[in-house]
Amino acid sequence: MKQHQNFIENIYKELKDISKIYAGSNDILERLLKLHVNCIEALALCKQLDLISQVEGKKYFAFSYNNKISRAVNRNLFIMETNEIEKTINFISKEKLTETTPENITKALYTMAISFCSIIDLLKERDQKTPGTFFEIFACHWFSRMLQIHPKKEIDVLNLDKETKLPTDYIFDLGKNRPKIHLPIKTSTRERVIQVWAHQRVLDGVYGVGRFLGMCVCLSETKVDKKKLEVVEICLPEQWQVYQMFIAQMKRIYYLDVPNRYQVLNDVFPPINVRPYGDFFYEVQKIEQGNYVL
Amino acid sequence: MKQHQNFIENIYKELKDISKIYAGSNDILERLLKLHVNCIEALALCKQLDLISQVEGKKYFAFSYNNKISRAVNRNLFIMETNEIEKTINFISKEKLTETTPENITKALYTMAISFCSIIDLLKERDQKTPGTFFEIFACHWFSRMLQIHPKKEIDVLNLDKETKLPTDYIFDLGKNRPKIHLPIKTSTRERVIQVWAHQRVLDGVYGVGRFLGMCVCLSETKVDKKKLEVVEICLPEQWQVYQMFIAQMKRIYYLDVPNRYQVLNDVFPPINVRPYGDFFYEVQKIEQGNYVL
């Protein structure tokens, strides 16, 4: 396990450095795949504990090692075979999306993200930062790769006599006469999610409504009670609707493990488009073709 | 010390319970004063360590006990004599504000708040929740006392066919044909502060701009480097200005230890009224007299 840990920590450090150069590069993809193989090898040394699922229609387990247990892992989305994952990822990198499906992509990306986060849960003490930073690099890579654009992390706010740099989430600039994409990335949202809508509001205010398409990528909203070995989804759909009506409009919220109570938001007023992240790979062409209605 | 700790923890628990009944009650004030005397007695058993201050014009020290050190304490605002504090508080509770000053009130309230927070820093491990909850009860008490209103923590959002309860910060309802007060309370703000403006935006959107006066009470923005024994103020004034222009307008930000770089915001565009909390006690009469221009 120690050997795996060293390898995982080293690749993570490399990823942090090279993601600053070009977030969508093949260098990153190569390391993400190597990292994943190592995570799966390490997880094969751990036990799997079934959790009591309070989430309708979903089964969860957790990895356990040295008396510690990981976050919840969705049994139906997790794929233990690394060659399966590699196959799906190759369809993405070789631009052969028609040979796979949104469902396969969601499962492959879910497995890669949750594997790394679970290993960190087991090997580190209360480390929220490493999974968060990793997931930003990971989720940003696919946007950057598909759009062939390296994102910015701050923008100029010009306002008559004032000039300020505003730190932002990822911003993808699609060029003249096209919208830009505002992309916050979170492993889970909880009560901090209002920031996503508030940042979108600032961009709408500074540049005009519609100039930035607000999209968000999240991993899941599960919470494990480690004593009861029970898993729940923490969701605040009514609050999201209030934010969507009164702060700003987010165009897409992508999840790797879509929470049941947010899934419903697609079909009620005000609609909020909550989708599996795999759908992005097929929708992104619309954006590139100039169809921003979504 | 153990005896003080037990006493402090018990009063804290009582405060949590009785603040739900009436946040501005004499029962609470009595306990706050008793709690303070105990905190000061406990702090008298601790050493005082001078900190290297990187904050222009301000001197800071920290309490130290059992190889732990507390948060930074502003030397010019901290009063060790509990009878001094009691005297000032009595002028408030007996409604004899002309016999004291905003400066004296700010110092008394600063001392009471920072004493409790420092004791928790020294006696507990990484406990951010207790100081945060205490400061909410503490800072809310004075608003509730002066306005003679018990605040709400949620409001109805009526919107045609939808009816939702929105959890909020403290809301003081001054009655018909008068504005309401929206009061978030934070020990420090950092990057989470955008929530304050975003909640104000929701209230403006749901009820109309101007129906809620946005006011915020904070303790300080100091951060201690425990190795270097150095203190800095973490401020993001340019970001506050962007929020004030593009999300919503906050009427007042009260601090017990006003950060230098936020003090400046009173005098530039867009103006943000950042004041010592002691000023509130003299301004509140304007609100009660129907002058909401502030």
Residues A78 and A140 placed together within one structural domain of the fold: yes
Residue A149: both structure tokens together: 């654009």
Q: Is residue B293 part of a domain?
A: no
Does residue B51 sit in the same domain as residue B141? Answer: yes
Domain edge (last residue) among A127, A146, A165? A146
How far, CA to CA in Å, does A277 sit from each of A75, B186, B189?
A: 17, 35, 33
Q: Range with the lowest mean pLDDT among A81-85, A120-124, B152-156, B216-220? A: B152-156
Let me know whether B65 and B163 are in one domain. Answer: no
* pLDDT band at residue B167 using 50, 70 and 90 as cut-offs: confident
What single letter denotes the amino acid at residue B109? L
From the centroid of its chain, how far is CA A198? 19
* Euclidean distance between CA atoms A149 and A2, whole angstroms: 37
Whether A242 is in a domain gets the answer yes
Confidence grade of residue B290 (pLDDT, cut at 50, 70, 90): low
Q: Which residues of B touch A165 (CB under 8 A)?
A: 238
Closest C-alpha to B165, from A244, A139, A242: A242
Residues 6+ apart with CB under 8 A from A122: A46, A63, A64, A65, A66, A68, A69, A70
Contacts of B169 in chain A (CB under 8 A): none
Q: Mean pLDDT throughout A3-14?
A: 94
As a whole number of angstroms, the distance between CA A258 and CA B274 comes to 42
pLDDT tens profile A207-262: 889 899 999 999 999 999 999 999 999 999 989 999 999 999 999 999 999 999 99
Q: Does B167 touch chain A (CB under 8 A)?
A: yes
Tell me, what's the ipTM? Answer: 0.85
Q: Are residues A232 and A131 in the same domain?
A: no
Question: Quick one: which of B292, B244, B246 has its CA closest to B268?
Answer: B244
Q: What would the two tokens of residue A186 be?
A: 């979170």
Work out the burial of residue A291: count CB atoms within 10 Å of its CB; fewer than 13 is exposed, 13-18 middle, 19 or more buried.
exposed
Residues A155 and A218 in one domain: yes
Question: Residues A222, A189: contact at Cβ < 8 Å?
Answer: no
Q: Are B162 and B141 part of one and the same domain?
A: no
> B239 with B274, same domain?
yes
Q: Are B191 and B127 within one domain?
A: no
Tell me, yes or no, whether B180 and B240 share the same domain: yes
In a domain, residue B58? The reply is yes
Chain B hits for A194, CB-CB cut-off 8 Å, are: 194-195, 198-199
Enclosing H/E stretch for B287: helix B280-288
pLDDT of residue A160: 61
Q: Are B109 and B134 in contact (CB under 8 A)?
A: no
Token couple for B10: 């018990």
Q: Is A293 part of any domain? A: no
For residues B250 and B230, is the Cβ–Cβ distance under 8 A?
A: no
Tokens describing residue B46: 């601790």
Instruction: Please check whether residue B128 touches A, CB under 8 A.
Output: no
* Residue B166 contacts A, CB cutoff 8 Å: yes
The whole-number pLDDT of residue A290 equals 65
The answer as to whether A133 is a domain residue is yes
Give the distance, in angstroms, between the CA of residue A158 and the centroid of all CA atoms in the same chain.
Answer: 31
Quick one: pLDDT at residue A216? 97
- A10 domain-assigned: yes
Q: Residue B220: which of B20, B76, B5 has the closest Cα?
A: B76
What is the DSSP secondary-structure string of A202-232? HHHHHH-TTSEEEEEEE---EEEETTTTEEE
Q: Which two tokens stand for residue B138?
A: 């503490």
In total, how many domains does chain B have? 2
Residue A240 lies in a domain: yes
Q: What are the counts of helices (DSSP H) followed by strands (DSSP E) for chain B? A: 9, 14
Structural domain of residue B142, as residue ranges? 2-146
- B100 touches B130 (CB < 8 A): no
Q: Residue A157 is encoded by which pair of tokens?
A: 């706010």
The mean-pLDDT minimum among A164-173, B104-113, B283-292 falls in: B283-292
Residue B27 has pLDDT above 70, yes or no: yes
Q: Which residues of B touch A239 (CB under 8 A)?
A: 166-167
In a domain, B11, yes or no: yes
Task: Give pLDDT, residue A182.
Answer: 96
Q: Based on the domain organization, do B56 and B123 belong to the same domain?
A: yes
Q: Which residues contact A285 (CB under 8 A, 6 or more apart)?
A: none
Domain boundary among B125, B146, B167: B146
Question: CB of A280 within 8 A of CB of A142?
Answer: yes
The answer to whether residues B77 and B203 belong to one domain is: no
Mark whether B199 and B282 lie in a shared domain.
yes
Average pLDDT over residues B8-25: 96
Residue at which a domain ends, from A121, A146, A171: A146
Per-residue confidence (pLDDT) for residue B148, from 0 to 100: 94
The shortest CB-CB distance from B206 to any of A162, A164, A246 is to A246
pTM here is 0.90
More confident residue, B167 or B201: B201
